[in-house]
Structures are given as C-alpha cells and as structure tokens.
Amino acid sequence: IAHSIPYVGPAISGVAGAIVGASAGASVASALPGERIRTGALLGALGGAILGSSGGGTLAANVAMGVAGATAPYGLLLAVFSGAS
C-alpha cells in the first residue's frame, strides 16, 4: 500500500524492505554454520531495500515481505544483540 503513495512510496517501501530484510537475514544466518548474524542482517537489509523499492506493490514482493516480516521480532533481536556476550 505504501508503495503507491506518489513520490515517497518507493522510499517508504525501501525502508520497510530493509527492516524486514535485516531481520530475515539475521534469522537465516543464525541457522548457518559460523552464525554470521551481522553479515546476514546487512545482506538482508540490502536485498530487502532493493526488493521493497523496486518491486514493492507486486504480489511477489508482498508475499516475500510478509514472510520476512513474520521473522521480524526474532531477527531484529538477533541483529541488535548479536555482539552482546
């Protein structure tokens, strides 16, 4: 819905994509060997921003953002507290 707002829609979709992408990337990285959570969060944020700003409003992007958004609480906590010991 935000993507359809004139002029600022793609930027809003890009920010939303970066947030859910970072959380999804951190979640995936936590399950892989080496647990490179910060790297996963960074790559997810970049991919999510690109997907959100360019493909926002399409059915595929909406499904991808919904699935990634479901991981947001877990992934964001991982990304924020990955450096805490």
Instruction: State the pLDDT at residue 19.
Output: 81
CB 48 within 8 A of CB 21: yes
Instruction: State the pLDDT at residue 1.
Output: 61
pTM summary value: 0.69
What distance in Å separates the CA atoms of residue 10 and residue 36, rounded to the nearest whole number? 29
What distance in Å separates the CA atoms of residue 27 and residue 64, rounded to the nearest whole number? 15
Report the candidate in 29, 20, 11, 7 with the shortest Cα–Cα distance to residue 62: 20
Q: How confident is the model at residue 7 (pLDDT cuts 50, 70, 90)?
A: confident
Q: How confident is the model at residue 71 (pLDDT cuts 50, 70, 90)?
A: low
Structural Rg of the chain based on CA atoms: 13
Q: For residue range 14-66, list pLDDT tens digits in order.
A: 888 888 888 888 888 887 777 788 888 888 888 888 877 777 667 777 777 67
